[in-house]
Chain A
Amino acid sequence: MTVNRENAPDAAAARKTPTVAASPQAPDDAASPQAAGSTASAQAAVGAEEPAHPTNRLDEMVHQRHRLGILTIADEAERVEFTYLRETLGLTGGNLSRHLAVLEEAKLIEVAKGYEGRRPRTWVSISAQGRASLDAELDALRQLVARRSQRAARPKPK
């Protein structure tokens, strides 16, 4: 499964990219040529029998690995400082700023800038929407893991 589309963030691209949840993708099985050749009605029948694949619930805005890291750390505290995020996630200042801008524009975090003495400080806090998105993302990932475990445990046809 390849869900990380980018390493360097592009705020504009991320804004334009519809979330996976909003545009359901075909499940993993359908990526094979055989599955791709199946009819839409067959897919609909499968969809009616089984719940939607967990990848449909992954949100690209949140799923990008660094943004997921930012949200995870921000969810652990009331506020987190820019320097802590930069050092913990091993990002450059510019790269982190762009990720924060993407998340702030999506209203998943709030950014407060100020000074402590003469030292500039940027504090990041997760919003209620950000917390809900993070929970949904983690839930979808857990479902993916559970689905994979179930598939591995299923006896293979001879």
Chain B
Amino acid sequence: MSSDPQALLGELAALRLSARRDRHAYWLPLLLFGALALVATPLYTDSIGPDGLRGGMGGPALAALGGDLLDHATALGWFWLGALIGGYLISLWWYRRHARQVGLQTPTRLYLRTGVLGVLGGLALGPVLMWLLRNSWTPVSEVAQVVLRPVASLLWLGLMPLVVVGAGLLVLARLERSRFLAGTALILLVALALAPVYVNVVDFGATFPRWGFLPVVLVPATILIAAGGAAYLRTARPAR
């Protein structure tokens, strides 16, 4: 290393970037959650469509992540409960393995905490929203119906688990100091926020196809898999 301050700063910046590149291992969580979203796709099929009248599913509290709208909401809830717990645990195992292999360890406690809080929050969100929308003091419920409508839409469509994935990736981006991952997480969250909009763009009328809701999960899955693949290629490419 040089003793010239400017050259020294440049060498230290290069050293830091090199260590950061060696530490990056986020391609696996991206591909893993993308694959899980793809596997969940059949559970997002629905025979009625967004405008159909239907009663609540009344599924068990632990399956609340699947929402209350789709035909397979309860199965979706069980699937995502297992997938989120499994996905976060596999990600943690992966980071530990990567640290042992490379010699640089990324802090993952905050990521784990986000996953736990996300799952618990996702399970509690349904009852809390219902109370706010229907059973609270009228002015509160009127405001809640306007303000919390987008959140309720995501919950009913069974997309809250993917919001938990997006939040986890955002935290991981901070821990990994990766702009690429932060950008991916933000694109994912924006795509999810827009899901209730684009699910209603095509007017199927009375002939709503069973696959009508699939874009809400296929778009996030594509984002995750494409970003995971790109991240893997970046990692596999030798540093210049």
Chain A residues at the B interface, C-beta cutoff of 8 Å: 1-4, 65-66, 68-69, 72-73, 75-85, 88, 116, 123, 138, 141-142, 144-145, 148
Q: List 15 A-B contacts (CB under 8 A).
A: A65-B8, A69-B12, A73-B15, A76-B19, A76-B104, A77-B19, A77-B105, A81-B103, A81-B104, A82-B103, A84-B102, A88-B18, A138-B9, A138-B12, A141-B5
Cβ distance A69 to chain B, nearest Cβ, rounded Å = 6
Contacts of A145 in B (CB 8 A): 5-6, 9
Q: Which of A1, A66, A73 meets B19, CB within 8 Å?
A: A73
- For residue B54, CB closer than 8 A to chain A, the reply is no
B160-173 Cβ-contact flags toward A at 8 Å (1 or 0): 00000000000000
Q: Which residue of A lies closest to B107 (CB)?
A: A78
The main secondary structure of chain B at its interface with chain A is helix
- For residue B20, CB closer than 8 A to chain A, the reply is yes
Q: Take A138-B9, A141-B5 as given contacts and tell me if A77 and B15 are in contact as well, using a CB distance cutoff of 8 Å.
A: no
Cβ distance B85 to chain A, nearest Cβ, rounded Å = 23
Cβ distance A95 to chain B, nearest Cβ, rounded Å = 14
Q: Which of B5, B16, B103, B107 meets A72, CB within 8 Å?
A: B16
Task: Tell me the total A-B contact number using a CB cutoff of 8 A.
Answer: 71
Q: Which residue of B lies closest to A85 (CB)?
A: B103
Contacts of B177 in A (CB 8 A): 76
The answer on a CB contact under 8 Å between A142 and B105 is no
Q: Take A77-B23, A141-B5, A145-B5 as given contacts and tell me if A123 and B105 are in contact as well, using a CB distance cutoff of 8 Å.
A: yes
Q: Take A65-B3, A72-B16 as given contacts and tell me if A84 and B8 are in contact as well, using a CB distance cutoff of 8 Å.
A: no
Q: Which of B195-213 contact A (CB under 8 A)?
A: none
Contacts of A1 in B (CB 8 A): 3, 5
Contacts of B16 in A (CB 8 A): 72-73, 75-76
The answer on a CB contact under 8 Å between A4 and B6 is no
Q: Which of B6, B18, B105 meets A79, CB within 8 Å?
A: B105
A145–B7 Cα distance when bound, in Å, is 10
The answer on a CB contact under 8 Å between B3 and A80 is no
A130–B15 Cα distance when bound, in Å, is 17
Cβ distance A121 to chain B, nearest Cβ, rounded Å = 8
CB-CB nearest 3 A-B residue pairs: A84-B103, A81-B103, A78-B107
Q: Which residue of B lies closest to A143 (CB)?
A: B5
The answer on a CB contact under 8 Å between B3 and A79 is no
Contacts of A73 in B (CB 8 A): 15-16, 19, 104
Cβ distance B35 to chain A, nearest Cβ, rounded Å = 27
Cβ distance A29 to chain B, nearest Cβ, rounded Å = 16
**Residue of B3, B8, B102, B106 with most partner-chain A CB within 10 A:** B8
Contacts of B5 in A (CB 8 A): 1, 141, 144-145, 148
